[in-house]
Structure 1
Amino acid sequence: MKLRFALLFSLVSAFSLAQTIYVDTGFKPAKREKSNNEFSRVAHFELAVPFVFNTHLGEYFYDGTKDNTWFVPAGAGVKAGYGIAYAETISLSLHSGIEWYQKLYIAPVFLNFNISSDVSDNGRLYIQAGIGRTFAIGRGNLQGVYQRYSIGYEDEEMIGFFLDLSLYGIKNEVGGHLGAVSLGISKRLF
């Protein structure tokens, strides 16, 4: 009997409709204006595409056209970070993410320092530097010192476009260290 009652109660609850009523009281909380003299939390999200020099530059395709592309995409990367900011111009945050670069999956964990300056009423120019560790995923104990240098432009909605140089600290087959030049978009939230 208890089982039938529980089943009936579940069916009635699952198919019942509910309605929400909103009452407008006319009260709207005041928006908090940002002061230029305060610390705040910041979240930073990035999506980037690394580019490499085209080794087939000047060669011909099967259809007879010539390959004139100087740089070609070599992967993709996404990073996110969280930290503190002072007056929305200087920030220090801890970042992590995953990057796919030429058959290698890399997970950098790094401390990022960001300085930005207003260049117009609508936007700001920023530079970033970061240092930390990078770990190759699925490659055993392959890791290195990660360095990152970036320059970019943000609009008033904190959406930015940037040019990024990442040095992974991992040796490649030739004996040099892996690095990438990337173009990307970013979003900061305060």
Structure 2
Amino acid sequence: MPMKPKLWLLFLGLFQLGFAQVVTVKPEMFPEDDKPFYKKFELSSPLRVNQYAGEVNPYTGENEPWFLLDGLSARAGIGTHYDKWVGVGINVGIDWKANKGLIVAPVFGSLRLSPKVGEDLRITSEIGYGRSLSLTGDKLSGNFQKISLGLEDDDSGLGLYIELCQYGFSKVTPERIGSFSIGLYYIMF
């Protein structure tokens, strides 16, 4: 009788030693992003304040809107990013300001921050600085500055944004020409 428990202990001890193993997993401190570059396309419309806002239009009988569309802007850019959170890029575009009779070509660098605020939603902010050149024949140029704030769908890359920009020159009046825009963009990672 005393031999049987000793045999069982020996058998269990050998069985435990036979299946023991040690696995070490090294955590990857800096995961490699297979696509560290992005391409971005923007389409927006500058807005201007309607001087007849709130009044009733005598022809249609409707109230006048607060803002009117004032042109069109199209821009494209490329850049590099870290985990879709921080990005640096270069951009070119064509901006048309209808009420000023102006077509401008901005060329600028940008810094983009886009932290995740939901499972598939990012809030984006972007600042840009560069040069703007008038293409309407009046030989105007100046420093281009912009700041934008928007929301982006993380899966599709589509976003909606508002933007303030200044072209750094004036056409007739002493104040610099700028715009307030609302637009859409598509970013590909």
TM tier relative to shorter chain: 0.7 to 0.9
Mapping for residues 83-162 of structure 1, pairs under 5 Å = 83-102=79-98, 103-155=101-153, 156-162=155-161
TM-score using structure 1 length:
0.76
In structure 2, the residue matched to 1:10 is none
In structure 2, the residue matched to 1:164 is 163
Verify the 8 A CA contact 1:56 1:67 in the aligned structure 2: no
Between the aligned partners of 2:31 and 2:76, the Cα distance in structure 1 is: 25
- Counterpart AA for 2:186: K
Between the aligned partners of 1:76 and 1:63, the Cα distance in structure 2 is: 27
Between the aligned partners of 1:127 and 1:161, the Cα distance in structure 2 is: 11
Bigger drift between 94-103 and 53-62 goes to 53-62
Verify the 8 A CA contact 1:59 1:67 in the aligned structure 2: yes
TM-score using structure 2 length:
0.77
Give the match's secondary structure for 2:114.
Answer: strand
- Counterpart AA for 1:88: K
- Counterpart AA for 2:74: V
Between the aligned partners of 2:185 and 2:37, the Cα distance in structure 1 is: 17
Verify the 8 A CA contact 1:127 1:151 in the aligned structure 2: yes
TM-aligned CA distance change 1:100 to 1:109, over 3 Å: same
In structure 2, the residue matched to 1:9 is none
Q: Percent identity?
A: 28
In structure 2, the residue matched to 1:19 is none
Q: What stretches of structure 1 of length at least 5 have no aligned partner?
A: 1-34
CA RMSD of aligned residues (A): 1.8
Between the aligned partners of 2:165 and 2:91, the Cα distance in structure 1 is: 13
Aligned with residue 40 of structure 2, among 26, 40, 44: 44
- Counterpart AA for 1:180: S
Between the aligned partners of 1:67 and 1:174, the Cα distance in structure 2 is: 31
Structure with bigger gyration radius: 2
Q: Alignment length, in residue pairs?
A: 156
Between the aligned partners of 2:97 and 2:118, the Cα distance in structure 1 is: 35
Verify the 8 A CA contact 1:50 1:76 in the aligned structure 2: yes
The structural deviation recorded for 1:158 is 1.1
The structural deviation recorded for 1:88 is 1.1
Between the aligned partners of 1:160 and 1:36, the Cα distance in structure 2 is: 26
The structural deviation recorded for 1:86 is 1.1
